């Protein structure tokens, strides 16, 4: 099986704080992998390194065999990402924002316009396409973040708590979208919502203190620990 | 996709942002009101306009000088804002080198401020033509120096934006540096007979000095020559001030690119 995301001995210090401790992980192509761990475990740090937002202190990370540090732009051309709760340029409309990001990725003309319409419809913001984002709620911005993530139809999706701020209907719709598009894409998905992860992902990696504690299929973890929740709590130190 | 094409896209959308924000129109309004105040108050307070067209032209440079300082408001959030407001989580994940982003932002800010300056000079030219039926040739030099001053101020603001955590901090730091610190140092250096062309505030002064030195301006207003305290004062040489601004322009922008490229969005 081809590996789409390869993380090798990734270490990251924030000043003296060790956020990632020689983390190694391999994500197979077209698999949906959940990244679980408590607050401060190193999930966001891992995803930010993959997206070129921060540099590792040591170690390597590759997307489709491309070094994310040495060839950052080439690696970024393969991914669509939602990191934390991103903010859009509030004085522009969703169409403006998506137009900007789409053009930076080489999309243009009618193809870009059509694709912007498609993704805006997909996240159910069609009535808001021409409204300045300063009027948007957090949940609406999160929907738009999903739209920008899918705009250029990337082969790899990197998602950090992507359902944060969505209402219950939004969470369900988001899950359906990711389940649908995830069949043809590699999805690396950090979340605290175990139910959500269990519904979208086939395997999970559980990390804490920057170290990998388990990386297995959800079925196997449930067999071993009775449930995914039990596995999470046991491995991250909640239950002995 | 070529980097040149990406640069064009960044300029286009960054300029669109300037157009959609109120600050462009606020700066334009302030510059226009200032020009209007000069045009109305001078004849009211001093019984008519000065006889010399050059003196009036100097007085009217206050408008473009303010417009040039608008650069601070266009660039204060250029780099810091991407980190502070988290828009960088969307912008930096695109396959584009960061220096292209910074250059595009710089050029978009430059276009916005250059248009403001151009507009204020059009007002100057029209006003002088109406009042005096002539326009001094030095207006063109003054315009060039004003554009250079705006570019240097833009670079300096980019530098403060690259090192600041927040946009407001970058804006305030630049204004304090240009208007207060640089202004005070320029005065101290000037009055003590030392060179001061390298202070950015001297670059701002050169916009008016393009029409001639301070002495000829004061004489034109009928205020006589400098007193004894100004004996050691060396008039600003416009060419030297232009060099000073060029240094701020190049060094400020280069440093902001290096620092901006190294910043991480944690």
Three-state SS sequence of A133-178 = HHHCCHHHHHHHHHHHHHCCCCCEEEEECCCCCCCHHHHHHHHHHH
Contact map slice: B 86-105 vs A, CB within 8 A:
86-97
Q: Are B86 and A142 spatial neighbours (Cβ–Cβ below 8 Å)?
A: no
Q: Which residues contact B115 (CB under 8 A, 6 or more apart)?
A: none
Q: Looking at the complex, report in whole angstroms how far the Cα of residue A140 sits from the nearest Cα belonging to chain B.
A: 15
Rounded Cα distance, A176 and B106, in Å? 42
Model pLDDT, residue B214: 66
Q: Nearest CB to B95: which of A76, A84, A91? A: A76
Rounded Cα distance, B129 and B134, in Å? 5
Model pLDDT, residue A13: 95
Share the mean pLDDT of chain B. Answer: 90
Rounded Cα distance, A200 and A61, in Å? 24
Q: Nearest CB to A91: which of B20, B264, B266? A: B20
Q: Looking at the complex, report in whole angstroms how far the Cα of residue A105 sits from the nearest Cα belonging to chain B.
A: 7
Neighbouring CB atoms inside 10 A of B216's CB total 14
- Asked if B85 lies within 8 A of A103 by C-beta distance, the reply is no
Among residues A51, A60, A44, A75, which one has the least CA distance to residue A7? A60
Which site among A86, A119, A147 would you substitute to test the B interface, given the most B Cβ atoms closer than 10 Å to its Cβ?
Answer: A86
pLDDT digits (tens, 9 = 90+) for A85-105: 889 999 999 999 999 999 999
- Asked if A86 lies within 8 A of B89 by C-beta distance, the reply is yes
- Asked if B13 lies within 8 A of A88 by C-beta distance, the reply is no
pLDDT digits (tens, 9 = 90+) for B55-64: 999 999 998 8
Residue of A nearest to B90 (CA): A86
Mean pLDDT calculated for residue range B212-224: 66
Compute φ and ψ for B224, nearest 5 degrees: 75, -175
Rounded Cα distance, B113 and B160, in Å? 18
Contact map slice: B 7-36 vs A, CB within 8 A:
9-10, 13, 16-17, 20-21
Mean pLDDT calculated for residue range B238-259: 94
Neighbouring CB atoms inside 10 A of B29's CB total 11
B115 token code pair: 């248009």
Tokens 């003590």 sit on residue: B192
Helix B138-163 to helix B62-75 angle, to the nearest 10 degrees?
Answer: 20
Rounded Cα distance, A118 and A126, in Å? 9
Q: Looking at the complex, report in whole angstroms how far the Cα of residue B231 sits from the nearest Cα belonging to chain A.
A: 53
Q: Across A132-146, A152-166, B122-136, which has the greatest mean pLDDT?
A: B122-136
Q: Which residues of chain A neighbour B95 with C-beta distances below 8 Å?
A: 73-74, 76-77, 104-105
Which site among B1, B89, B91, B261 would you substitute to test the A interface, given the most A Cβ atoms closer than 10 Å to its Cβ?
Answer: B89
Q: Which residues of chain B neighbour A76 with C-beta distances below 8 Å?
A: 93-95
Model pLDDT, residue B220: 65
B85 touches chain A (CB under 8 A): yes
- Asked if A91 lies within 8 A of B264 by C-beta distance, the reply is no
- Asked if B20 lies within 8 A of A92 by C-beta distance, the reply is yes
Model confidence at A166, in pLDDT bands (50, 70, 90)?
confident
pTM for the predicted model, two decimal places: 0.92
Residue of A nearest to B23 (CA): A91
Whether A240 shows a pLDDT value over 50: the answer reads no
Residue of A nearest to B264 (CA): A54
A70 secondary structure, DSSP code: T
Rounded Cα distance, B191 and B185, in Å? 10
Model confidence at A168, in pLDDT bands (50, 70, 90)?
confident
Share the mean pLDDT of chain A. Answer: 92
Model pLDDT, residue B217: 66
pLDDT digits (tens, 9 = 90+) for A17-59: 999 999 999 999 999 999 999 998 999 999 999 999 999 999 9
Model pLDDT, residue B221: 63
Model confidence at A163, in pLDDT bands (50, 70, 90)?
confident
Q: Nearest CB to A73: which of B16, B88, B96? A: B96
Q: Are A37 and A194 spatial neighbours (Cβ–Cβ below 8 Å)?
A: no
Model confidence at B193, in pLDDT bands (50, 70, 90)?
confident
- Asked if A101 lies within 8 A of B94 by C-beta distance, the reply is yes
- Asked if B90 lies within 8 A of A86 by C-beta distance, the reply is yes
Whether B226 shows a pLDDT value over 80: the answer reads no
Q: Which residue has the higher pLDDT, A238 or A16?
A: A16
Model confidence at A175, in pLDDT bands (50, 70, 90)?
confident
Rounded Cα distance, B25 and B12, in Å? 18
pLDDT digits (tens, 9 = 90+) for B97-134: 999 999 999 999 999 999 999 999 999 999 999 999 99
Mean pLDDT calculated for residue range A62-83: 95
């Amino acid at each position: 099986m081809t590996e789409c995301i390869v993380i090798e001995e990734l270490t990251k210090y924030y000043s003296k704080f060790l956020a990632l401790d020689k983390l190694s992980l391999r994500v197979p192509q077209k698999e949906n992998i959940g990244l679980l761990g408590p607050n401060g475990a190193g999930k966001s740090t891992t995803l930010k390194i993959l997206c070129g937002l921060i540099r590792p202190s040591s170690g390597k990370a590759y997307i489709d065999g491309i070094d994310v540090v040495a060839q950052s732009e080439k690696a970024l051309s393969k991914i669509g990402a939602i990191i934390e709760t991103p903010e859009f340029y509030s004085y522009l409309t969703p169409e403006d924002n998506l137009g900007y990001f789409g053009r930076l990725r080489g999309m243009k003309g009618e193809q870009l316009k059509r694709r912007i319409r498609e993704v805006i419809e997909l996240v159910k913001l069609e009535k808001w396409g021409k409204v300045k984002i300063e009027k948007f709620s957090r949940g609406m911005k999160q929907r738009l973040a999903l739209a920008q993530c899918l705009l250029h139809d990337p082969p790899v999706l990197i998602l950090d708590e992507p359902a944060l701020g969505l209402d219950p209907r939004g969470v369900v719709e988001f899950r359906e979208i990711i389940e649908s598009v995830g069949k043809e894409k590699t999805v690396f998905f950090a979340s605290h919502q175990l139910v959500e992860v269990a519904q979208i992902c086939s395997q999970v990696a559980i990390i804490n203190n920057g170290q990998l504690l388990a990386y297995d299929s959800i079925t196997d973890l449930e067999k071993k620990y009775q449930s995914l929740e039990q596995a999470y709590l046991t491995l991250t130190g909640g239950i002995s | 996709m070529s980097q040149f094409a990406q640069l064009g896209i960044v300029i286009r959308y960054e300029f669109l942002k300037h157009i959609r924000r109120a600050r462009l129109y606020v700066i334009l309004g302030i510059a226009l009101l200032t020009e209007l105040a000069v045009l109305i108050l001078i004849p009211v307070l001093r019984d008519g306009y000065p006889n010399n067209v050059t003196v009036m032209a100097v007085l009217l440079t206050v408008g473009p000088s303010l417009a040039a300082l608008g650069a601070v408001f266009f660039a204060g959030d250029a780099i810091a804002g991407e980190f502070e407001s988290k828009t960088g989580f969307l912008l930096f994940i695109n396959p584009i080198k960061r220096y292209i982003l910074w250059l595009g932002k710089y050029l978009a800010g430059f276009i916005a401020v250059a248009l403001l300056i151009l507009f204020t000079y059009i007002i100057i030219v029209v006003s002088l033509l109406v009042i005096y039926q002539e326009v001094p040739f030095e207006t063109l030099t003054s315009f060039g120096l004003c554009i250079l001053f705006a570019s240097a101020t833009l670079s300096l603001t980019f530098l403060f934006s690259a090192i600041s955590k927040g946009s407001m901090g970058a804006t305030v730091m630049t204004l304090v540096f240009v208007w207060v610190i640089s202004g005070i140092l320029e005065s101290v250096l000037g009055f003590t007979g030392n060179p001061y062309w390298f202070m950015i505030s001297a670059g701002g002064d050169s916009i008016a000095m393009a029409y001639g030195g301070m002495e000829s301006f004061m004489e034109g207003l009928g205020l006589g020559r400098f007193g004894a305290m100004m004996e050691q004062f060396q008039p600003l040489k416009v060419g030297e001030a232009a060099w000073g601004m060029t240094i701020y322009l190049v060094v400020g922008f280069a440093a902001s690119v290096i620092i901006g490229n190294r910043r991480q969005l944690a």
